[in-house]
Amino acid sequence: MQYLANPTRFLKLANAVLPTVWVITLLLFAVGLYGALFTAPQDYQQGETVRIMYVHVPAAWLALMVYSVMALASAVAVIFRHPLADVAAKTAAPIGAVFCFLSLATGSLWGKPMWGAWWVWDARLTSMFVLMLLYIGYMAIWAAIDEPHRAAMVARVVALVGFINVPIVKFSVDWWNSLHQPASVFRMGGPTIEKSMLWPLLVMGLAYTFLFLALHLVSIRAEIAARKIRQIHIAEIGDR
């Protein structure tokens, strides 16, 4: 990990890995979407709308995972003073927020025909909504504080405190009587979901994960470039 503390080394690695990551992402999406839209059967109750699941569930997984990545990066920044950890946390936030929004939006598109309402205030939906607000608050901190170093220190606190919500989202369906389906993939005793539906879902999950990896690397690269530009501007002003 310390090896990557040097931004130049990190950029070299990122540039080398990125094309492969993009290709894997596209392949996974091709296979996953084919499985989800063509080979997976209709649900006996939900009919075709069950296919929304293949975009909804991975988006929700990723929304949680990205927040965890953010919190982990913040913890690494606090403990090891790793210079790229703050950049990783900062750039993960907008991507995670989009995944979170995607899961809320697709969930609500599914909820209208299935539950008869766009939105229901139950534990899973509410805690997911709170996750969205936490993402927004985290990004607002970065936007509000001009000095990057100080913003990083404050943002770490916000990310770590907000992490409390992640287990609440995950277990909300077990702790409360929720309208939302209980966990059917990552649970004690193995998945309860039918195999023909499970594999496209898992492939889509992997595809989303690689998509995040690719987008994250790109935006870390962009952030490093932005900081260099900032340094150059400051140096120019100093020269004048």
Give dist(CA 9, CA 15) in Å, integer: 10
| Other residues' Cβ atoms within 10 Å of the Cβ of residue 107 | 24
Give ∠ CA 90-93-95 in degrees, rounded to 5: 125
CB nearer another protein, residue 57 or residue 92: 92
Give dist(CA 159, CA 111) in Å, integer: 30
CB nearer another protein, residue 91 or residue 127: 127
CB nearer another protein, residue 44 or residue 121: 121
Residue 36 DSSP label: I
Q: Tell me the closest approach of the beta carbon of residue 15 to another protein, in angstroms.
A: 32
Q: Which residues bind another protein (CB under 8 A)?
A: 78, 126-127, 130, 133-134, 136-137, 140-141, 144-145, 150, 153-154, 156-158, 160-162, 164-165, 168
Q: Tell me the closest approach of the beta carbon of residue 150 to another protein, in angstroms.
A: 5
CB nearer another protein, residue 144 or residue 235: 144
Q: Tell me the closest approach of the beta carbon of residue 64 to another protein, in angstroms.
A: 15
CB nearer another protein, residue 14 or residue 97: 97
Give ∠ CA 89-174-164 in degrees, rounded to 5: 25
- DSSP one-letter string for 151-206: HHHHHHHHHHHHTTHHHHHHHHHHHS--SSPPPSSSSTT---S-HHHHHHHHHHHH
Q: Tell me the closest approach of the beta carbon of residue 195 to another protein, in angstroms.
A: 38
Q: Tell me the closest approach of the beta carbon of residue 140 to another protein, in angstroms.
A: 6
CB nearer another protein, residue 148 or residue 191: 148
| Other residues' Cβ atoms within 10 Å of the Cβ of residue 3 | 8
The tokens of 215 are what? Answer: 């987008």
Alpha-helical segments (H) within the chain: 7-34, 53-80, 83-115, 123-144, 148-162, 165-175, 195-239
CB nearer another protein, residue 114 or residue 168: 168
Q: Tell me the closest approach of the beta carbon of residue 154 to another protein, in angstroms.
A: 5
Instruction: Encode 183-200: b = buried (16+ Cβ within 10 Å), e = exposed.
Output: eeeeeeeeeebeeebebb
Q: Tell me the closest approach of the beta carbon of residue 178 to another protein, in angstroms.
A: 13
